[in-house]
Amino acid sequence: MFGLDTPKLLGKRRLTRRVFLLGGIQLALGSVIGYRLVQLQAVNTEDFQQLAENNRIGFSLIPPERGLIADRNGILLAQNEKEYWVTFVPEETLNKRETLEKVAQLIYLPEEDINEIMYRIDHQPSFIPILVKDKVTWEQITALSVNGPALPGIYAGFGSVRFYPQGHSLSHLLGYVGTPSTIEIEENRGFESLLNHPNFKIGKIGVEKSFEMDLRGTPGSRKFEINSTGRKIKELESNKPVQGKNIQLTLDAKLQDYTQLVFGDEVASAFLMDMEQGDVLVAASKPTFDPNLFAVGITSKDYREYLENPYAPFFNRPLAGQYAPGSTFKMITLLAALESGLIDENFTFYCNGAHEVGDHTFNCWNSHGHGTVGIKKSLKESCDVFYYRLAEIIGIKRIAQMARRFGFGIKPDIPIPDVTTGLMPDSEWKKNNLEQNWVIGDTLNSAIGQGFILASTAQLGIMLARMITNKLVVPRLVKSIDGREQPVREWSTLGISKKNLDLVLEGMEAALNEQKGTAFESRTIDENFIIAGKTGTSQVRRISTQEREEGVKKNFELPWDQRDHSIFCCYGPIDKPKYVASVIVEHGGSGSKVAAPIGREILMRAFYNRLPPLRAYPEEVRSKVIEMRLNFGINPAPPKNKEKTRA
């Protein structure tokens, strides 16, 4: 009996095992699925809610208004103007070029612009909007809106564009804004979204670049609901952008404009400071350029014209230019000699027109000589031979040490890019850089501001300010940021003997106010505003012995780029110095004939705070002043009486 039932029992046991095995597998799978469901529904609920939210919620960035820039009197130098623009989101259309060509039928969009946009499409993510055209009219915006369904990815917007009311006048110092480059975006980690905005601009040069983070502001944002087609349904949340900080500079816009005017057609630079606080009032360069072209996107044609201009309109001459200072450096050599104790106020030397050192002859600018020359006369008539002799007595080391105390070879602390350091050479510099030994001829050339010495127009102004105050004057460019007055530095003393400084200043007063002074024709005669200064004429070519024997060519006989630089630094009024100015006219020739009248004009305009009165000029130059004003389009106010008319 049992034998008959055994096969059936074995079959039932095998079936039971299979059922349990399959059931176990199903149970395990069910547990895994259950666990995953719990994880998805409980643990990861917030993550999936965020993903779902992102599918129906859109975000957009609102660029901030850029901070304003004003001069010391509140005149706006950089502001913002409203404008409309058109952008293109490439990922929202399949035929991108066709869409752009349709846009070109409604607004002016040349083929080269379309090609540029297509290039950008190929080189950046397709979801980033691309600026198609700015400064679009309302009529053009309306036409695009009517044709919206046929223009997928095309959007109209409005915002602000940078505008510089002063135009060319302050372009080098203010700088301009432009679209961020790929490198600039990479350098601004954390701001990529803002910098990729199609109409966002950043500072490229000048104050706009140096104070970019202050001027930039904080972007806002919009959060809105979108449907399945991507159309905005309603705004859910909005955060307003915060405008950038306003910056007030120490500059005087009207004085800067006047400086540009009196430059005329010269290639020139000027630097003017108020010595009470070191405020920079003028930093003018000519030729210049229109920064507004860059703010809206300069054309390749305009940019090429600027680049091909032989007079380099992009060059910031007063701060980045480097020139041999010529005879304006003689004050440094004289102070070095006086401070060394190797000469005193009674020192004299005879000038016969040349100075022999070994086999070399070093010529004075006056080939007939100056006769016996003392300290005052050496500056008044700018005798070269006198300073050749001083150089022999004191050597280059003392000259270089004194020069550096006055800012030569040291970068001025002016907060904009590309401020030059200049060069104050010595024997060590020549050995390290030229692999040559310093020779006596190098010292003699340095003593009169030639040779290897290089300085900017600003450095000459700083030198003179330190000489007048006997303090380590540091120029100040920013007056306030967001209404907060910037601190005025306490200047440490230079420690130069007052007696020695007075001797130098006396020579500068004589240069303008005594007969035979090199700048006598540029003096003023208003007893309330008498000025002093020093001329300089800096050679840019070597004069051969043969040319000296045959007769040195006049500047007007030479090609423009071989003519001497014309230099002048001055201050006033002499009884209570307030303003200091320096002027360099590239290849202008004589410092007394060209740069000195410009320096006088700038000082006078600053002092009187208006067009200088004719009574302040020597009678013999008033007709020239009137002619100059008429040539520059300056019409003097009608005379109040006949006496002034005759003057």
Q: What is the pLDDT of residue 642?
A: 37
Domain 253-612: state its class.
Answer: alpha beta
CATH of domain 58-249: 3.90.1310.10
Least confident of 267-281, 294-308, 338-352, 420-434: 294-308
Percent of the chain with pLDDT over 90: 59
508 and 332 Cβ atoms separated by less than 8 Å: no
Which residue blocks in 413-456 are alpha helix, DSSP H?
Answer: 427-434, 440-447
State which amino acid sits at residue 472: L
The Cα–Cα gap between 264 and 258 comes to: 10
User: Which residues have C-beta within 8 Å of that of residue 12, sequence separation ≥ 6?
Assistant: none
Helix pair angle (440-447, 330-340), 10° resolution: 110
Q: Which two tokens stand for residue 622?
A: 């008033």
154 and 99 Cβ atoms separated by less than 8 Å: yes
Give the β-pairing of 247-249 and 76-88.
Answer: unpaired
Q: What is the pLDDT of residue 234?
A: 66
Is the peptide bond between 417 and the residue preceding it cis, with omega within 30 degrees of 0? no
Nearest alpha carbon to residue 141 among 85, 100, 198, 199 = 85
Map out the domains of the chain as residue ranges.
58-249, 253-612
Which residue blocks in 514-561 are alpha helix, DSSP H?
Answer: 545-550
Output phi, psi for 262, to 5 deg: -75, -10
| C-alpha torsion sign, points 337, 343, 345, 348 | negative
Predicted confidence (pLDDT) per residue in 463-498, tens digit: 999 999 999 999 999 999 999 999 898 999 999 999
Give the bridge partners for 455, in sequence order. Answer: 323
Provide long-range contacts, Cβ within 8 A and 24+ apart, for 492-498: 494/405, 494/406, 494/466, 494/470, 495/470, 496/335, 496/339, 496/405, 496/470, 497/338, 497/339, 498/470
Residue in this structure with the two tokens 């024709």, named with its chain if needed: 521
The Cα–Cα gap between 562 and 560 comes to: 6
Q: Average per-residue pLDDT in the chain?
A: 87
Predicted confidence (pLDDT) per residue in 381-437, tens digit: 999 999 999 999 999 999 999 999 999 999 999 999 989 999 999 999 999 999 999
List Cα–Cα distances, 323 to 326, 590, 636, in angstroms: 9, 15, 35
Comparing 44 with 603, the larger pLDDT belongs to: 603
The Cα–Cα gap between 386 and 374 comes to: 8
**Coil, strand or helix at 201:** coil
Predicted confidence (pLDDT) per residue in 147-203, tens digit: 878 888 888 777 788 999 999 999 999 999 988 888 888 888 888 778 877 778 899
Q: Which two tokens stand for residue 137?
A: 């009219």
216 and 233 Cβ atoms separated by less than 8 Å: no
Comparing 298 with 26, the larger pLDDT belongs to: 298
For 468-496, the three-class secondary structure string (H helix, E strand, C coil) is HHCECCCCECEEEECCEECCCCCCCECCC
Q: What is the pLDDT of residue 546?
A: 62
Q: What is the pLDDT of residue 380?
A: 97
Least confident of 278-282, 439-443, 554-558: 554-558
**Coil, strand or helix at 406:** coil
Q: What is the pLDDT of residue 113?
A: 87
**Coil, strand or helix at 556:** helix
The Cα–Cα gap between 494 and 339 comes to: 12
State which amino acid sits at residue 560: W
The Cα–Cα gap between 603 and 133 comes to: 46
Is the peptide bond between 310 and the residue preceding it cis, with omega within 30 degrees of 0? no
The Cα–Cα gap between 391 and 343 comes to: 12
Q: What is the pLDDT of residue 332?
A: 98
271 and 280 Cβ atoms separated by less than 8 Å: yes
pLDDT exceeds cutoff 50 at 143: yes
- What pTM does this model have? 0.82
Give the β-pairing of 69-70 and 247-249.
Answer: parallel
Instruction: Average the pLDDT over 105-124 and give the result.
Output: 86
Helix pair angle (457-469, 498-513), 10° resolution: 120
Instruction: Average the pLDDT over 316-325 and give the result.
Output: 96
Instruction: Average the pLDDT over 577-596 and give the result.
Output: 94
175 and 206 Cβ atoms separated by less than 8 Å: yes
Predicted confidence (pLDDT) per residue in 209-260, tens digit: 999 999 999 888 777 676 555 555 666 777 888 999 999 999 999 999 999 9
Nearest alpha carbon to residue 542 among 557, 558, 562 = 562
The Cα–Cα gap between 145 and 446 comes to: 70
Q: Which two tokens stand for residue 418?
A: 């590309």
State which amino acid sits at residue 296: V
Is the peptide bond between 287 and the residue preceding it cis, with omega within 30 degrees of 0? yes
Nearest alpha carbon to residue 460 among 323, 604, 607, 279 = 323
The Cα–Cα gap between 47 and 34 comes to: 19
The Cα–Cα gap between 391 and 444 comes to: 6
**Coil, strand or helix at 587:** coil
Predicted confidence (pLDDT) per residue in 496-551, tens digit: 999 999 999 999 999 999 999 999 999 999 999 999 999 999 887 777 666 666 66
Give the β-pairing of 268-274 and 76-88.
Answer: unpaired
Give the β-pairing of 154-163 and 354-357.
Answer: unpaired
Residue 64 burial (C-beta neighbours within 10 Å; 0-12, 13-18, 19+): buried
